[in-house]
C-alpha cells in the first residue's frame, strides 16, 4: 500500500509566517511512514533546510494545484481567491461555516471539484473541545498590540495611528517592546491602563491576561460566562476601561458588548478595542462599531464616535491572524497539539475526529444556495 502523502502548501496571506506542520512535527510524521512535501515559502518563519533535514521534500510554491488528487493538502489560512474547483482533501482554516462574507464562494469550490474540506477550526475531541487552536497566542498578541496602541495614541495623538508591525522572533522581544510602550503611556497618562478581557477563562483569554501580567499591569478585569450571563450588554464596564480585548468564541447571536450608543459618554475611558475573535463580517458580531479587518501593516481602524462622546480617540484592532506576530512559538504549539490527529490522516475516513469534520463539511455544503454548484443535487443525494 502506498504511503499517504501530505502536501504542506505555502501561505499567501500577507505577513502570515506560520505553518500547520513544523519541521519537528514533519519529522514525526515521516518516522510514522508518511511522505511530507513542503512548498517553498518566502513568508514562513521556517527555512527550507529545517524541513530538508527531517526527510521532507521541498517542492515549488503553489504546486499543490497540480499534485495528484489523493495527496492531502495541509495549510493554515484561506486559499487564494480563485474560482477553480478543488479536487483534494484540504485541511485548513477556511472561515466559511458561520455566514462570513463570501462564504458560499469559498465553500462551493469543494463540491464542484469533488474535494473535501476538513476545517481545523472544528476538529473536536470526545468532549467537544478543539484538538488544536492558536487561541492562546492570538490573545497574547492581540493584547500586546492593544497596549501598544493605547500608549501610541496617548503619545502621538489621534491623527497618527499605530504604525505597522512585523513578526517577532520570540516572546521575550515582544514583551520588551510592550513594556517600553506601556511605560511611555504611563508617563503621559499618569497611570497604567485598565484592561477588560471577555472570555478570560478560555485559551485566548488566558493568553491576553498573561500578556497583561507580563507587561506589569495590575488592573485587569477578567470576565467570562458568569459576568456576561448576569446581565445583557452593552456593558458600561467596557466603556470605563482603557482597553477592551474580546476573546469569546461566537456561536450564536448575543446582545452586543458595546454599541455606538454606549460610546456616547463624556466619562468614556475606552480608547482601544482588540477584537481577537475577529467576526467582522458575522451578522451577529457583538462589537458592531467597525466593519473591516485590519492588518499588521495597518493595525488599527478609527471608530466614528456618536455625538455626546468625548474627544478621546477610539480605535479597533481586528487582525484575523494575530498569532503570526509570534509565528515560531505559535506554530510549534499548534502543530504539536494537532499531531495525534495528523497521525490518523492515513485512515481519516474511519477516524472519529476526521469523520466529524467531513460530516460538518457535507452539512455546510448542503446549505449552499440553489444553483451555486453544478451537480450539487447529485452530491447531496448521496450523503449519509
Catalytically annotated residues = 77, 95
In this structure, the strands spanning 300-302 and 272-275 are unpaired
Cα separation, 294 vs 320, in Å, equals 8
Give the DSSP per-residue string, 118-131. EEGGG-B-TTS-BS
Report whether 186 belongs to an annotated binding site.
Answer: no
Report whether 45 belongs to an annotated binding site.
Answer: no
> What nine digits make up the cell of 255?
446582545
Q: Are 200 and 208 in contact (CB under 8 A)?
A: yes
Report whether 228 belongs to an annotated binding site.
Answer: yes
Cα separation, 108 vs 160, in Å, equals 42
> For residue 384, what are the CA distances in angstroms to 122, 124, 360, 372?
19, 20, 12, 21
Report whether 319 belongs to an annotated binding site.
Answer: yes
> For residue 367, what are the CA distances in angstroms to 28, 119, 125, 281?
38, 16, 25, 18
Report whether 34 belongs to an annotated binding site.
Answer: no
How deeply is 286 buried, as exposed, middle or buried, from its count of CB atoms within 10 A (0-12, 13-18, 19+)? buried
Buried b (16+ CB within 10 A) or exposed e, 109-126: bbbbeebbbbbbbbbeee
- Cβ-proximal residues to 124 (8 Å cutoff; 6+ apart), any chain: 130, 131, 353, 356
Report whether 249 belongs to an annotated binding site.
Answer: yes
Report whether 142 belongs to an annotated binding site.
Answer: no
Cα separation, 382 vs 20, in Å, equals 32
Cα separation, 135 vs 247, in Å, equals 8
Let me know the angle formed at the C-alpha of 305 by 302 and 311, rounded to the nearest 5 degrees.
90
Report whether 99 belongs to an annotated binding site.
Answer: no
Report whether 31 belongs to an annotated binding site.
Answer: no
> Measured over all CA atoms, what is the biggest interatomic distance in the chain, rounded to whole angstroms?
71
H or E segment at 90? Answer: strand 89-92
- Supply φ then ψ for residue 130, to 5 degrees: -60, 135
Report whether 25 belongs to an annotated binding site.
Answer: no
Report whether 203 belongs to an annotated binding site.
Answer: yes
Cite the annotated binding site by residue number: 129, 202-203, 224, 228, 249, 276, 319-322
Cite the annotated binding site for NAD(+) by residue number: 129, 202-203, 224, 228, 249, 276, 319-322
Amino acid at each position: 500500500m502506498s504511503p499517504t502523502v501530505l502536501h504542506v502548501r505555502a501561505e499567501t496571506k500577507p505577513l502570515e509566517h506560520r505553518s500547520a506542520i513544523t519541521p519537528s512535527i514533519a519529522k514525526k510524521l515521516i518516522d510514522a511512514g508518511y511522505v511530507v512535501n513542503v512548498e517553498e515559502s518566502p513568508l514562513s518563519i521556517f527555512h527550507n533546510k529545517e524541513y530538508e533535514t527531517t526527510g521532507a521534500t521541498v517542492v515549488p510554491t503553489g504546486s499543490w494545484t497540480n499534485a495528484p488528487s489523493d495527496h492531502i493538502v495541509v495549510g493554515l489560512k484561506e486559499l487564494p481567491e480563485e474560482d477553480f474547483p478543488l479536487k483534494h482533501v484540504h485541511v485548513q482554516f477556511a472561515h466559511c461555516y458561520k455566514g462570513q462574507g463570501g462564504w458560499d464562494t469559498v465553500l462551493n469550490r469543494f463540491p464542484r471539484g469533488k474535494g473535501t474540506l476538513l476545517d481545523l477550526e472544528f476538529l473536536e475531541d470526545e468532549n467537544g473541545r478543539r484538538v488544536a487552536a492558536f487561541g492562546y497566542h492570538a490573545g497574547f498578541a492581540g493584547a500586546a498590540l492593544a497596549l501598544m496602541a493605547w500608549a501610541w495614541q496617548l503619545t502621538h495623538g489621534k491623527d497618527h495611528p499605530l504604525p505597522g508591525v512585523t513578526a517577532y522572533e520570540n516572546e521575550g522581544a515582544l514583551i520588551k517592546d510592550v513594556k517600553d510602550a506601556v511605560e511611555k503611556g504611563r508617563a503621559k497618562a499618569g497611570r497604567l491602563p485598565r484592561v477588560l478581557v471577555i472570555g478570560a477563562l478560555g485559551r485566548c483569554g488566558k493568553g491576553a491576561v498573561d500578556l497583561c501580567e507580563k507587561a506589569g499591569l495590575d488592573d485587569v478585569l477578567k470576565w467570562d460566562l458568569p459576568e456576561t450571563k448576569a446581565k445583557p450588554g452593552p456593558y458600561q464596564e467596557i466603556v470605563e476601561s482603557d482597553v477592551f480585548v474580546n476573546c469569546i468564541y461566537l456561536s450564536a447571536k448575543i446582545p452586543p458588548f458595546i454599541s455606538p450608543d454606549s460610546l456616547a459618554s463624556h466619562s468614556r475611558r475606552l480608547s482601544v478595542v482588540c477584537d481577537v475573535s475577529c467576526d467582522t463580517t458575522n451578522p451577529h458580531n457583538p462589537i458592531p462599531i467597525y466593519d473591516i479587518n485590519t492588518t499588521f501593516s495597518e493595525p488599527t481602524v478609527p471608530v466614528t464616535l456618536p455625538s455626546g462622546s468625548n474627544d478621546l480617540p477610539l480605535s479597533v484592532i481586528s487582525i484575523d491572524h494575530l498569532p503570526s506576530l509570534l509565528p515560531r512559538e505559535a506554530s510549534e504549539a499548534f502543530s504539536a497539539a494537532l499531531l495525534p490527529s495528523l497521525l490518523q490522516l492515513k485512515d481519516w475516513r474511519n477516524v472519529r475526529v476526521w469523520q466529524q469534520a467531513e460530516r460538518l463539511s457535507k452539512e455546510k455544503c448542503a446549505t449552499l444556495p440553489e444553483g451555486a454548484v453544478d451537480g450539487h443535487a447529485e452530491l447531496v443525494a448521496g450523503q449519509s
